[in-house]
Chain A
Amino acid sequence: MTPSQYNQCVKDYADGVFRFILKNLKDSDEAQNIVQNTFEKVWIKRDVVIFEKAKSYIFTIAYREMIDVIRAKKKFTSMESIKEEQFNSLGAGYTGVKALLDKLVNKLPENQRTAILLRDYEGHDYKTISEITGMTEPQVKINIFRARQFLKDCIGKMEVLI
């Protein structure tokens, strides 16, 4: 990968990586650090990285950096710990489905959240997501399905409550 191709990757993917990391960590400074570390590693390995596969490579490094941070900070929230009455508090500040969805995504388990964000934010296919996260393709698909199922149920219940 030439320096010009690297710079093109920065222009194309830096914002997406930042949004993805920020959505997971909810920490702008940490997200910036991860993005900087990610592209620094890509620059170091630029002789090995193929430009056509740079996107998945960048997101793979960023995901692993994010996992390290998450494990260090232990921000995982299990789906079983979510109780229905928590949704009532959401109704007090309900500003639309989009805002509700943002809050609900944070309630997802780590694997499901990662899979659905990579799918919807960046449009990665199941194969790419499996390369990034280390899950198999069927696991990726199942996690996305379960995530959408959960979100659908929650949104449906909110609408019922409202």
Chain B
Amino acid sequence: MTMILDKDNYEFLMFEMLEGNLDDVEANNLIQQINASPFYQKEWQLMQHTLVVPNMEIGMPNKAGLEKHEGKTLLLFTWPRLVSIAASLLFIGTFGILYYSSEKNESQLTSTSQINHLNPTPSESLTASPSKVDSIVQLPKSIVNIGESRTESFIVQKKSNGFQKRVKNDSSASTYQPELMFLHSIETDKIVYQSIENKMQQTKLFNLAPPTAKSQTKLQRLMVKADAITKTSQLIWNDLPNLTFRMSPNLKSRNRSIGIEIKGETIYANAIIELK
């Protein structure tokens, strides 16, 4: 059907042609009518100006940031960091092993047989045999060796009350000459010994008080401590299969670090490695 332009429908027809809603035949017909009138030409020109053209130079800033990559692997560690982390763990592990090993070795400085020499059982009774008494009176060499191994030498003083005192071997040491005594018997509450004073042999009795923490010798305290360390170290070594290791990286903050936690049934340790 041929459309005829008039003052009432020209705007709509021009709009339809601008929108592309007319077929080729209708559009050509309309163009001929428009070209035939200056008024319609002007109106058609104005209608064409109403097309809004976008500025293609304007674009979304950081458009690439909108993209998603499913399954992308985030690099939390790079090779230098991996090496530094591995070196740190190796250092911590080596230090820990060496530390516990040194503690264990210190506890083995004196053997239990030496302890038995110092603490005779109450059932042990001794005769006043000079040879046997001499062996008891003399301190075991190992104790003297201990003193000497610690870059200090000791001398044993035998006092009149029958006890022996180990003092440092220096020029300020006393020149006191201890009395000679012979151990007769040792019981739980007393010690019977014989001493020679003024060339006279006398039998003396020394009552034993219940041992207190202060009355223990330094060596005995060391032995108790060493025994405790030995037991603790043994627990740690036994707990090694149960150790759990956990790393908690904190790489998003400015001060990047990695937390390390070692936990077992008897031990617990944690450390923070700062990445710079």
Interface residues, chain A, with chain B CB atoms under 8 Å away: 3, 6-7, 10-11, 14-19, 22-23, 28, 32, 35-36, 39, 43, 97-98, 101-102, 105, 116-117, 119-121, 144-145, 147-149, 151-152, 155-156
Contact = CB atoms under 8 A, between A and B. Distances in A.
Contacts of A148: 15, 18, 47, 50
B59 interface: yes
Given A35-B60, A155-B46, A155-B50, 10 more contacts: A3-B68, A7-B67, A18-B58, A19-B55, A101-B49, A101-B50, A116-B52, A117-B52, A152-B46, A152-B50
B46 A120 contact: no
A19 B58 contact: yes
B58 A10 contact: no
A101 B63 contact: no
Contacts of B43: 152
A102 B12 CA distance: 23
A144 B52 CA distance: 12
Interface in B35-75: 43, 46-47, 49-55, 58-61, 63, 66-70
A155 B52 CA distance: 13
Interface of B: 11-12, 15, 18-19, 43, 46-47, 49-55, 58-61, 63, 66-70
Contacts of B61: 28, 32
A144 B59 CA distance: 25
Contacts of A19: 54-55, 58-59
B66 A36 contact: yes
Contact of A156 (B12, B46, B58): B46
27 contacts: A3-B68, A3-B69, A3-B70, A6-B67, A6-B68, A14-B60, A15-B63, A17-B60, A18-B60, A19-B58, A23-B54, A28-B61, A32-B60, A43-B68, A101-B50, A101-B52, A117-B52, A120-B51, A120-B53, A147-B50, A148-B15, A148-B47, A148-B50, A149-B15, A152-B49, A155-B49, A156-B46
A40 to B, nearest CB: 8
A151 B53 contact: no
Contacts of B63: 10-11, 14-15
Contacts of A102: 52
Given A7-B68, A39-B66, A151 B54 contact: no
A17 to B, nearest CB: 7
A16 B15 CA distance: 24
Contacts of A3: 68-70
A149 to B, nearest CB: 6
B189 to A, nearest CB: 87
Contact of B52 (A10, A35, A121, A156): A121
Contact of B59 (A18, A98, A105, A121): A18
A97 B45 CA distance: 12
Contacts of B11: 149, 152
A156 B11 CA distance: 13
A116 B52 CA distance: 8
A106 to B, nearest CB: 11
Contacts of A121: 52, 54
Contacts of B49: 97, 101, 151-152, 155
Give 3 closest A-B pairs by Cβ, nearest first.
Answer: A18-B60, A120-B52, A15-B59
A45 to B, nearest CB: 13
Contacts of B19: 119, 144
Contacts of A28: 61
A105 B52 contact: yes
Given A14-B63, A32-B60, A97-B49, A145 B54 contact: no
A42 to B, nearest CB: 9
A144 to B, nearest CB: 7
A35 B60 CA distance: 8
Nearest to A98: B53
Contacts of B55: 19
B50 A14 contact: no
B47 A152 contact: yes
